[in-house]
Amino acid sequence: MKKLFVNLKGDLFGGITAGIVALPLALAFGVSSGLGPSAGLYGAIFISFFAALFGGTNTQISGPTAPMTAVSMVIIANIIAVYDGSVEKALPAILTVFLLAGLMQIGLGLLGIGRYIRYIPYPVVSGFMTAIGVIIIITQILPALGYYPREDMAWVTPFKPEAEELILENILREEAGEGILVLEDFKETIARSGEVTEETILEEAKTLAAKEASGVIGAIKVTPKAIKSINWLELSLTLITIVIIYSFKRITTAVPSTLVALLLVSGVAYVLGLDYRPIERIPEGFPMPNWEVFTGFKFGAISPYIFTALTLALLGAIDSLLTSVVADNMTKTKHKPNKELVGQGIGNSIAAIFGGLPGAGATIRTVVNINSGGQTRLSGMVAAVLLLIVLLAMGPIASQIPAAVLAGILITVGIAVMDYKGLRAIPNLPKDIKIGPLKLSSEVVIMLVVLVLSTFWNLVYAVGIGLVIASLTFMKKIGDLTAERSDIKSLEKEKAWADESSFPRNLQEEVFIKHIKGPLFFGSTNDFQLLADQIPETASYVIIRLDRMQYMDQSGLYAMEDVLQELNKNKVTVLFVDLQQQPRYMMERIDIIPDFIPEEQIFDNFRECNAWIKQHVQDIY
């Protein structure tokens, strides 16, 4: 506990500054997600406090981030669609998925997965981060133009027939579940259908219209309509916000330009009494837990989202640990990755119970904290307390912030989050694969596949596909490299190793030496399986040198068995030299040793094997 207060002044100033930076972003991410500004604030409060308290990076500031919000947005939209467009009905299921992601993060930390996160290929991360930026920018075009699909009757009206049909289907489905619907009596059904009013149909049509206009494709689809009916006030507020954010940075970085834009544009708009659209009302008072996460839990409702929750957990882990590395570089310290995952998981789990958005370690907020003097976990807890004070004392005031201002803030976030380093490297990366007449870089292909699929299809599946392509590409490269280094050549053609210079020249027709210069795994078995066919007919013995084959997988094991079986059938004696521990263990498991290779045919070094050859092999030519 004493360690928390060793840098009290620096941690207080660092936490307060980081909290100020987090405020506009938390509000913006909450609005963008579809759950409202309060969800962003709740997430920032609880994740920042508990991730700092239990995490493994002393200076990390956590909360909703652009990548986590983008994935959450997809989850929220999908679940709301299942619950007929009602956020209130869908909220318990949404929060349960978020809670599940938090619990999975705790599990990842306890299982020690933190140290493996760094193995995710850079092209996958690069494509994903750039897609997040593109998604945020495109989805903010409509609010920036002051266009809201639910309010455009020209867009909503065509959805009325579908809405009426859907309402009737729901009535029939409910009655079937209640046992009311029977073939002999439709009186109850007729009575209920008579209660369907024009207002009910209109509200359902608005929900369908909003769903059709959601996401990147939906936003692109209705943008022409939005351009025809631009709200010039809303667009002006958005553009002024963006200009201030970029311009104020040139004056000073001591005060966050995002906060300056938020306060200045919102204040002027409110004082002048402009007819702008405010954000949703932020509830007053301390956040209360949503117990329906537990009491209304239905596994069937969230089972389709288990993989999505895992993806959210992994994304949060990657996001947090990358920020931890940045913090380490700045503070010359070393974070504890698995403890950090446990802390993030606890923060996300508690935030979900209180209705907050999931989040992760936030790089910009962490950098601000460190530069402002933060050195211990107290700084992250101070940032959370500051946001809680803002929520309790200034909720009604914050509710007057123009939605267009938050749209401008999010557009700058989208621009900032894209991976320009990866994009700039595209022309310079080696073109190592051929697709038809084109020669391309495998890294560029992976990045573009993840970017396009994430933007226009599904973030979760895009990452999975990117990982599969990256893994296959890596395995092919390693296989090609292994095959290149393990060329099958006779002793006369292959350059002899230094210790083979004393091998009797008169026995080179009878003895074939094979060098294996790398792991024998599924990517390199094809060339090895040709060994039996490439041995000269004059050879009666094969020496396989294994000192550089330190690893063998199951595919390599069975390839070795096939080759030895073929050589044994051809009455060729095989000798092993310097067999390594892991391959030996594998071959002993399926009795290659001693069935095909008895112990007396395994030598610790080539000198011993050479002596055996001189003693047992006669020159017959």
Alpha carbons 527 and 530: distance in angstroms, whole number: 5
Q: Is 205 exposed, middle or buried (0-12, 13-18, 19+ CB in 10 A)?
A: buried
183 versus 307: the higher-pLDDT residue is 307
Per-residue pLDDT band at 356 (split at 50, 70, 90): very high
Task: State the residue for tokens 């490269």.
Answer: 477
Q: E strands, 380-508, where?
A: 433-435, 438-440
Most confident range, picked from 469-483, 498-512, 583-597 = 583-597
CA distances from 83 to 59, 70, 399, 580 (A): 40, 20, 27, 59
Buried b or exposed e, range 103-126, using 16+ CB within 10 angstroms: bbbbebbeeebbeebeebbebbbb
Query: What number of H helices and E strands is found in the chain?
Result: 29, 8
Per-residue pLDDT, 234: 92
The pLDDT, as a whole number, for residue 34 is 82
Counting beta carbons within 10 angstroms of the beta carbon of residue 279, is it exposed (0 to 12), middle (13 to 18) or buried (19 or more)?
buried
Specify the pTM. 0.73
- Residue 122 pLDDT: 80
Bridge partners of 62, per DSSP, are: 361
For 62, the enclosing helix (H) or strand (E) is strand 62-63
Task: Check pLDDT > 90 for residue 167.
Answer: no
With a cut of 80, say whether residue 326 has pLDDT above it: no
At 240 the pLDDT is: 94
DSSP-derived secondary structure letter, 497: P
Which of these, 155, 135, 163, lies nearest to 213 by C-alpha position?
155
Among the listed residues 452, 430, 376, the one whose alpha carbon sits nearest the alpha carbon of residue 216: 452
Q: What is the reported pLDDT for 5?
A: 67
Q: How confident is the model at residue 181 (pLDDT cuts 50, 70, 90)?
A: very low
Query: What are the start-end ranges of the H helices in 486-580?
Result: 525-528, 531-534, 554-569
Helices 257-271, 403-417: axis angle to 10 degrees equals 160
Q: Give the C-alpha separation, 455 to 414, whole Å.
A: 13
Q: Kindly report, residue by residue over 112-136, the tens digit of the pLDDT.
A: 888 777 677 888 888 888 888 898 8
Taking only the tens place, the pLDDT of each residue in 294-325 is 776 666 666 777 888 888 898 888 888 878 87
- Across 450-577, the runs of DSSP E, i.e. the strands, are 511-515, 541-545, 573-577
Which of 466, 465, 461 is closest to 71 using CA atoms? Answer: 461
Residue burial 432-441, b: 16+ Cβ < 10 Å; e: rest: bbeeeeeeeb
Most confident of 21-30, 327-336, 593-602: 593-602
Angle, helix 306-331 to helix 66-82, in steps of 10 degrees: 170
Residue 341 confidence class, pLDDT cut points 50, 70, 90: very high
Residue 174's pLDDT band (cuts 50, 70, 90): low
Q: What is the pLDDT of residue 98?
A: 93
How far is Cα 486 from Cα 386, in angstroms, rounded to an integer?
63
Pairing of strands 438-440, 511-515: unpaired
Assess contact for 482 and 524: CB atoms under 8 A.
Answer: yes
> Do residues 146 and 237 touch, judged by C-beta distance below 8 A?
no
Mention every residue, 6+ apart, whose C-beta is less than 8 A from residue 476: 523
Mean pLDDT of 534-554: 83
Q: Mind listing the pLDDT tens digit for each residue in 136-153?
A: 899 889 989 989 888 888
Question: What is the predicted pLDDT for the residue at 484?
Answer: 59
The per-residue pLDDT for 300 is 67
Q: Is 447 helix (H, G, I), strand (E, B) or coil?
A: helix
CB atoms closer than 10 angstroms to residue 476: 14
Q: Is 603 helix (H, G, I), strand (E, B) or coil?
A: strand
Please give the DSSP secondary-structure letter assigned to residue 402: B
End-to-end CA distance of the chain: 84
CA angle 567–572–576, rounded 5-degree value: 85
pLDDT 10s digits, 254-264: 777 888 888 89
Distance CA 160, CA 206 (A): 8
| CB contact at 8 A, 148 and 139 | no
* 505-529: average pLDDT: 76
SS3 at position 218: helix
Condensed to tens digits (0 to 9), the pLDDT of residues 611-621 reads 888 888 776 54
- DSSP classification of residue 278: B
Which pLDDT tens digit goes with each residue over 35-61? 888 899 999 999 999 999 999 999 999
Lowest mean per-residue pLDDT among 164-168, 206-210, 297-301, 370-374 = 297-301
Average pLDDT over residues 284-290: 83
For range 456-471, the mean pLDDT: 82
CA separation, residue 435 to residues 121, 432, 438, 445, 479 (Å): 21, 10, 5, 10, 19
Q: Evaluate if residue 94 carries a pLDDT over 80.
A: yes
Q: Give the single-character DSSP code of 185.
A: B
What does the DSSP 8-state code read for residue 284?
P
CA atoms of 453 and 127, how far apart (whole Å): 9
Give the model's confidence band at 347: pLDDT under 50 very low, under 70 low, under 90 confident, else very high. very high
Span 394-415, average pLDDT: 85
Residue 529: helix, strand or coil by DSSP?
Answer: coil
Q: Give the per-residue pLDDT at 491.
A: 45
Q: Which residues contact 241 (CB under 8 A, 6 or more apart)?
A: 261, 262, 265, 404, 405, 407, 408, 409
What confidence tier does 489 reach under pLDDT thresholds 50, 70, 90? very low
User: CB–CB of 128/460 below 8 Å?
Assistant: no
| CA neighbor of 71 nearest in space, from 269, 234, 312 | 312
How many angstroms separate the CA atoms of 106 and 118, rounded?
Answer: 18
Of residues 431 and 299, which shows the higher confidence score?
Answer: 431
